[in-house]
């Protein structure tokens, strides 16, 4: 359906991914309107001043509040919805589980319900690899969000699909930002476990995945980027080399936090039966025969995914150049 002449609504639209998604749509396509909703008035104010585009419209709206959400959807009548609003930090969700449920689970139900009521053509839900065999409140609530979305497959004229992210480097609150701040302050870098690995993606890759999924989605799919994985210790070493300026920063092991996994996974055993490869990503959809090999089930410690410290340095430099 494309994005030109479409009204596009983004929940969590002042966050790292939501705001970059809005910028990309306004700069590379010709949407009728890009509607950003969030509950952060300061970021909305700053975003409007930064973009200065009459097609950008913002609403103060919390996805937990169905009445307000429904009001905005009925007024805007969006064609496409990107649902990026979430509580994403594992440790904070562990400490505040009810809040995580309200935003990640109930909020997703509210978005889907409001979208269907307003006759939205497509909804793309942004999920996480932490929803695969979850060990945390955050992952569990995002899994519930996925299941809410996928449960509507074949039951509504609204096409609803999911994308599953890894860790987005340089997003707000990411380990990349933490390490960079620690290096700038001349502090030791705090590592939770020497063998910990994570799937990673650049912000531009995250946005590209979301947009490509929106173009291709027929309903009921989960789109997953074929992304590299890094050992967190290698990421720390690479960042010291890039940003350290000869500072003598060391790595200090502090232990795994509650809810954290040592290694992440991209798909479950059940999903593996319905996964195919398309371009640079995988697509999970009920009822299609598997063409992906079993190795793709392996965790982020799989040598096929892990990249070296030298490759991490190149990866980070690419990301920095993209953001300049």
Sketch the domain layout of the chain as residue ranges.
7-166+201-225
Please say whether the beta carbons of 53 and 62 come within 8 A. no
Active site residue 28: no
Strand (E) positions, 177-247? Answer: 189-191, 197-201, 222-225, 229-231
pLDDT of residue 279: 82
Dihedral pair phi/psi, residue 11, rounded to 5°? -80, 150
Q: How far is 146 from 105, CA to CA, in rounded Å?
A: 9
For the segment 204-216, the average pLDDT, to the nearest whole number, is 96
Q: What are phi and psi of 225, to 5 degrees?
A: -70, 140
Question: Structure tokens of 228?
Answer: 């590299």
With a cut of 80, say whether residue 298 has pLDDT above it. Answer: no
> Which of helix, strand or coil describes residue 91?
helix
Whole-Å CA distances, 47 to 22, 36, 37, 53, 312: 10, 10, 12, 10, 31
Share of the chain above pLDDT 70, in %: 95
What is the per-residue pLDDT for 254?
Answer: 96
Band (309; pLDDT cuts 50, 70, 90): very high
Average pLDDT, the chain: 93
Catalytic pick among 130, 231, 261, 285: 130
Could you give the C-alpha distances from 42 to 49, 60, 65, in angstroms and in order? 11, 10, 20
7-166+201-225: CATH topology: Rossmann fold (3.40.50)
Tokens of 15: 């966050």
Task: Give the CB-side neighbour count of residue 216, counting CA atoms within 13 A.
Answer: 19
Yes or no: say if 131 and 171 are a contact pair by the CB < 8 Å rule: no
End-to-end Cα spacing for the chain: 31
Report which of 23, 1, 2 is spatially closest to residue 10, judged by C-alpha positions: 23
- Up-side HSE of residue 54: CA atoms within 13 Å toward CB? 0
Alpha-carbon gap, residue 68 to 74, rounded angstroms: 10
Distances (CA, A) of 50 to 11, 23, 205: 19, 10, 22
Q: What is the pLDDT of residues 81-122, one digit of tens each?
A: 999 999 999 999 999 999 999 999 999 999 999 999 999 999
C-alpha to C-alpha distance for 222 and 299, rounded to whole angstroms: 18
| Residue with the two structure tokens 């991914």 | 17
The H or E element spanning position 163 is: strand 159-165
| pLDDT of residue 246 exceeding 70 | no
**What pLDDT, in 10s, does the model give residues 116-171?**
999 999 999 999 999 999 999 999 999 999 999 999 988 999 999 999 999 999 88
Angle between helix 107-117 and 137-150 (nearest 10): 20
Range 70-80 average pLDDT = 98
Q: How many CA atoms lie within 13 A of 307 on its CB side?
A: 18
């Amino acid at each position: 359906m494309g994005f030109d002449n479409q009204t596009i609504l983004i929940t969590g639209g002042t966050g790292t991914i939501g705001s970059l998604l809005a910028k990309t749509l306004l700069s590379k396509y010709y949407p009728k309107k890009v509607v950003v909703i969030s509950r952060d008035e300061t970021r909305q104010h700053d975003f409007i001043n930064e973009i200065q585009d009459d097609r950008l419209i913002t609403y103060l709206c919390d996805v937990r509040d169905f009445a307000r959400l429904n009001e905005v959807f009925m007024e805007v009548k969006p064609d496409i919805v990107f649902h990026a609003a979430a509580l994403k930090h594992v440790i904070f969700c562990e400490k505040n589980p009810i809040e995580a449920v309200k935003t990640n689970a109930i909020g997703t139900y509210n978005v889907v319900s409001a979208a269907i009521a307003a006759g939205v053509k497509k909804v793309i839900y942004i999920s996480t690899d932490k929803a695969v065999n979850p060990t945390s409140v955050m992952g569990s609530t995002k899994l519930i969000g996925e299941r809410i979305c996928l449960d509507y497959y074949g039951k509504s004229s609204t096409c609803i699909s999911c994308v599953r992210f890894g860790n987005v480097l340089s997003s707000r609150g990411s380990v990349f930002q933490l390490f960079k701040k620690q290096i700038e302050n001349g502090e030791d870098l705090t590592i939770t476990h020497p063998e910990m690995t994570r799937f990673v993606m650049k912000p531009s890759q995250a946005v590209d995945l979301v947009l490509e999924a929106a173009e291709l989605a027929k309903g009921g799919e989960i789109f997953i980027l074929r992304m590299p994985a890094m050992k967190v210790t290698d990421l720390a070493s690479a960042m010291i080399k890039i940003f350290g300026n000869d500072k003598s920063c060391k790595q200090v092991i502090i232990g795994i936090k509650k809810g954290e996994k040592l290694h992440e996974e991209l798909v479950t055993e059940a999903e593996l039966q319905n996964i195919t490869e398309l371009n640079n990503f995988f697509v999970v959809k009920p009822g299609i025969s598997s063409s992906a090999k079993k190795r793709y089930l392996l965790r982020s410690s799989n040598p096929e995914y892990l990249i070296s410290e030298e490759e991490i340095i190149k990866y980070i430099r690419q990301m920095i150049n993209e953001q300049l």
